[in-house]
Amino acid sequence: MRPATRPVFTLSPGAPWNRSPSNRACSPASPLGQARSPSPRGPLPRPNPIPPRQPGTPWQCGSSGTPPPIRWRSQPPTAPSTLSRIRRQSTRSNSVTPFIKMHGAGNDFIMFLQNDLGRFPLPATTIARLCHRRMGIGADGLIVVGKDPGGADFRMHYANSDGGEAEMCGNGARCAFALARAAGLVGDSGKFASSAGLHAGRMIDAGEVEVELTGWRDLDLEFDLPDVPWSGLGFCNTGVPHVVVQLPDTGALADLDLATWGPVLRRHARFGAAGCNANWAAVDPADGSVHLRTFERGVEDETLACGTGASATAVIMCLRGTRKSPVTVRTRSGEILVVSVESGTGRLHLRGPAVVSFTGEVDLDD
């Protein structure tokens, strides 16, 4: 039996091939617990949209100019080829499964269709192994898209990179909608379910999706904590809980030691045993956009974007009267998210990219 931390998988890079360094498709990334820097080259590239695909077959998102698939070995060169092993295994088990790697503004996910999985739900250990950035595919989370027994067009199942289930992920929801559309589960607009409730989604264009979140709850517009160096914190649950700290300027935000302060707020006793996600925001006076950095619960690291964090920040700033809807949020990756806050109805709309990074097949056997 092969080691559980060394899966066999074949990667089929998507188009275009010249990805930026922050789009970490096939290169080692920072270890867990270490902050990742944004791309110095501006917003992430946006490859071609997801094409249709028959269940059980590999995803294809390349073009005629796409290089051949990259095959990674988990055995020494003297062992049988990875491709031969996959072919043999596919004849005796359903463990080799097609996947698609996507990101929403740099917040990246391993995506599966539920019909492609031989077993569901996946064990937390398998999810953590696949999401590991050194010994797996690498991702902030894993998403399974399947039919919804409650009557929505589809259901999104989301887990963080530690394997734990989370109620909602805004950037992941946009990627899930794009995948469901490619799989024929939904059209250009429709309804989908998550553990947080029922949502609406619609395609804006080939690489842009808007989703309606379930609104907000547990709102606290201003409170202080005695053991942190900031005052006037805000709290808002937009599917998952978020604490928001507004800093005086973008320079203070850039200089913030988030690797130190992220875990402090994320696990603060004020937020109970489960803790919460921690956000720091600052307004750019040049264009009025909100710059945001987020330390995500379950990832236990800074992520390049957080959709529910952007939404919670927009809610707090709009209800405080410091911003007006729609709020433009610039993420750590440099990508833009747009949050519309309807204070009268409590509705939240999150708009942003949903992009294919690459596709492949992964052996899910432990």
pLDDT higher at 182 or 96: 182
What average pLDDT score do residues 202-210 get?
A: 93
Q: Is the pLDDT of residue 97 over 50?
A: yes
Distance, in Å, from the CA atom of 252 to the CA atom of 313, rounded to the nearest integer, reads 17
Pick among 3.90.1300.10, 3.10.310.10, 1.10.260.40, 3.40.50.410: CATH of 217-345: 3.10.310.10
> Which pLDDT score is estimated for 344?
84
CB atoms within 10 A of CB 26: 16
DSSP string covering 182-193: HTTSS-SEEEEE
In sequence order, the β-bridge partners of residue 100 are 111, 359
- Tell me which of 61, 236, 276, 306 is the catalytic residue: 306
- Could you tell me if 223 and 358 are in contact, meaning their C-beta atoms sit under 8 angstroms apart? no
Query: For residue 36, what pLDDT is reported?
Result: 44
Give me the helix-helix angle, 170-182 and 307-320, nearest 10°.
130
The rounded percent of the chain whose pLDDT value lies above 90 is 69
Higher pLDDT, 258 or 45: 258
Question: With bands split at pLDDT 50, 70 and 90, how would you rate the model's confidence at 343?
Answer: confident
Specify the pLDDT at position 119.
87
* The pair of three-digit structure tokens given for residue 42, joined into one six-digit string: 């501006």
Provide mean pLDDT across the span 274-297.
Answer: 98
pLDDT exceeds cutoff 80 at 73: no
Contact present, 145 and 186 (Cβ < 8 Å): no
The rounded distance, in Å, linking the Cα atoms of 216 and 196 is 11
The answer to whether residue 43 scores a pLDDT higher than 70 is: no
Which residue would you say has higher pLDDT here, 354 or 76? 354
Q: Cβ distance 361 to 9 under 8 Å?
A: yes
Residue, of 31 and 327, whose pLDDT is higher = 327
Q: Where are the CATH 3.10.310.10 domain residues in the chain?
A: 44-60+77-212+355-363, 217-345
Considering 42-46, 71-75, 205-209, the range whose residues carry the highest mean pLDDT is 205-209
Examine the residue annotation and report whether 175 is marked as an active-site residue of this protein. Answer: no
Q: Hey, is 83 helix, strand or coil?
A: helix
* pLDDT digit string, tens, across residues 298-319: 999 999 999 999 999 999 999 9
Rounded Cα distance, 53 and 279, in Å: 38
What is the model's pLDDT at position 118?
84
The CATH class of 44-60+77-212+355-363 is alpha beta
Beta-carbon contacts of 40 under 8 Å, excluding residues fewer than 6 positions away, are 21
Our answer to whether residue 61 is catalytic in this structure is no
Taking all residues of the chain, what is their mean pLDDT, rounded to a whole number?
82
- Residue 209: how many CA atoms within 13 Å on its side-chain side? 34
Q: State mean pLDDT over 27-48.
A: 44
Residue 42 has pLDDT above 60, yes or no: no
pLDDT on residue 27: 32
CA-based angle 10:63:335, to the nearest 5?
A: 85
Q: What is the mean pLDDT of residues 95-108?
A: 94
* Residue 338 pLDDT exceeds 50: yes
- Contact at 8 Å (CB) between 349 and 363? no
The end-to-end CA distance of the chain, in Å, is 8
What are the pLDDT digits (tens) for 117-159? 988 999 999 999 999 999 999 999 999 999 999 999 999 999 9
| Amino acid at residue number 158 | Y
Q: What pLDDT sits at residue 261?
A: 98
Position 50 scores a pLDDT of 67
Q: Which of 61, 169, 236, 318 is catalytic?
A: 169
- Whether residue 83 is predicted with pLDDT greater than 90 in this model: the reply is no
Spatial contact of 311 and 347, defined as CB atoms under 8 Å apart: no
Percentage with pLDDT > 70 across the chain:
74
- Strand-pair category, 336-342 with 141-146: unpaired
Instruction: Give the tens place of pLDDT for each residue, 168-205.
Output: 999 999 999 999 999 999 999 999 999 999 999 999 98
Residue 147 and residue 185: Cα distance in Å, rounded? Answer: 8
Please count the helices (runs of H) and the strands (runs of E) in the chain. Answer: 6, 19
Q: What is the mean pLDDT of residues 214-230?
A: 95
* pLDDT of amino acid 18: 30
Say what the pLDDT of residue 87 is: 43
